[in-house]
Amino acid sequence: MLSLDDPRLLEKYDRSGMLATIDSFPRQCLEAKNIGLAFNLPDHYKTPYRNIVCTGLGGSAIGSDVLRSYLWHEAKVPLFVNRNYLLPGFVDERTLVIVSSYSGDTEETISAYRDASKKRAKLIVVTSNGVLRKLADKDNVPVVSIPKGLPPRCAIGYMFFPALILLSKINIVKCDLRAVDETIKLLDDIRRNRAGFRVGEKKNIAKLTAISIYDKYPVIYASQDYMDCVVTRWRGQLAENAKTLSSGNLFPEMNHNEITGWNNPKKILKGFIAVILKDALDHPRISRRMDITKKMINKEGHRVIEISALGRTRLARIFSLLYIGDFVSVYLAILNRTDPTPVERITYLKNALKER
């Protein structure tokens, strides 16, 4: 197996600089916080809403997933994440729709924007450019303008922090800026001391995890509360960066069905490995379920990796697992001898859809 401490591997396989982009993520989060604070929300948006819908796809939607998970027990109104051409039937003039497309050219998101306009919802756009920016400018819709030039999946900070601060400005939630600052500080510590490339294999949680799941099919588990978005992120990053299939499920639901599936098909399951993402504030019964589940999977002859969230605040702990997973995906890409940045099949699909 390749040594993940060998800098020559970056030159050979990470030709587009994905690791450098991930390395700069703490700075992105700081910039995203400042964008959110500087955003001038029109006064007529500071009104009661019946519900909030965040609409987007892929890397542009994962920030909304984190927002929903983080605010699950705090938001004063329901918050939904939509990944489709049309919006749910309940959307109306008392709905706030946050439309997120990093490029501004995502066809499903443009369609959802138009659907929201027809339903007379209040609209706010988060984008760097594109058709969506032009539509918003024409319709006099507020735009949270974010820097361009990144693969959309690398812009999660820009998609999350301005939206969180925006919701605090309309009194949906209280944004604890101390938690935001702790999160950014922790991410920098993870980069420097726990998961960055300069941290050797023996002490690097991300490198060790990548080595463990190399040439296997990872099944990622976490608690429903707060950490469901992390499972989604890990799966997306493993797919796009490492070009690796994985699956995931959540506690306690997986204990009511999926746990019985770790028996067959036996030949295929030999290549499976479970990854349990844990948080110190998981419900005590969830923690107990995780321990019992680990023993059952081990008993079937399969390895289980446990990775614990870091940080004091809930926001920091969520982002700690997100960030570790991002590093894992790049290291696994190197082990797979592939450049993590290009997503040729997605590009092919988008081009094919343009042919009518």
Q: Is residue 290 part of a domain?
A: yes
Spatial neighbors of 126 by CB under 8 A, at least 6 apart, are 98, 99, 100, 101, 143, 144, 146, 158, 159, 162, 163
Active site (annotated) includes residue 256: yes
Q: Does 219 share its domain with 302?
A: yes
Q: Does 51 share its domain with 155?
A: yes
Q: Does 264 share its domain with 296?
A: yes
Which of these is catalytic: 240, 278, 294, 302? 240
Cis peptide before 265 (omega within 30 of 0): yes
Q: What is the pLDDT of residues 79-95, one digit of tens each?
A: 999 999 999 999 999 99
- Using the Cα atoms of residue 84, residue 85, residue 87 and residue 89 in order, give the sign of their dihedral: negative
- Please give the average per-residue pLDDT across 30-36, as a whole number: 98
pLDDT at 356 exceeding the cut of 80: no
- Please give the average per-residue pLDDT across 29-38, as a whole number: 98
Instruction: Quote the pTM value.
Output: 0.97
Q: Is residue 356 part of a domain?
A: no
Q: What is the pLDDT of residues 251-263, one digit of tens each?
A: 999 999 999 999 9
pLDDT at residue 74, as a whole number: 87
pLDDT at 265 exceeding the cut of 90: yes
> How many domains in the chain?
2
Q: How confident is the model at residue 75 (pLDDT cuts 50, 70, 90)?
A: confident
CATH at 270: 3.40.50.10490
Got the DSSP string for 83-94?
-SSS--TT--TT
Q: Does 236 share its domain with 169?
A: no
Residue type, 76: K
Residue type, 335: L
Q: What is the pLDDT of residues 178-232, one digit of tens each?
A: 999 999 999 999 999 999 999 999 999 999 999 999 999 999 999 998 999 999 9
Q: What is the pLDDT of residues 121-156, one digit of tens each?
A: 999 999 999 999 999 999 999 999 999 999 999 999
Q: Where are the alpha helices (DSSP H) in 119-255?
A: 130-138, 156-169, 177-189, 205-213, 224-240
Q: Does 246 share its domain with 288?
A: yes
- Please give the average per-residue pLDDT across 109-116, as a whole number: 98
Of the residues 118, 145, 175, the one at which a domain ends: 175
Which of these is catalytic: 44, 138, 256, 266? 256
Which of these is catalytic: 118, 203, 295, 350? 350
Q: Is residue 214 part of a domain?
A: yes
How far CA 6 is from CA of 9, 81, 194, 197, 215, in Å, comes to 6, 41, 17, 9, 20
| Domain carrying residue 290 | 186-335
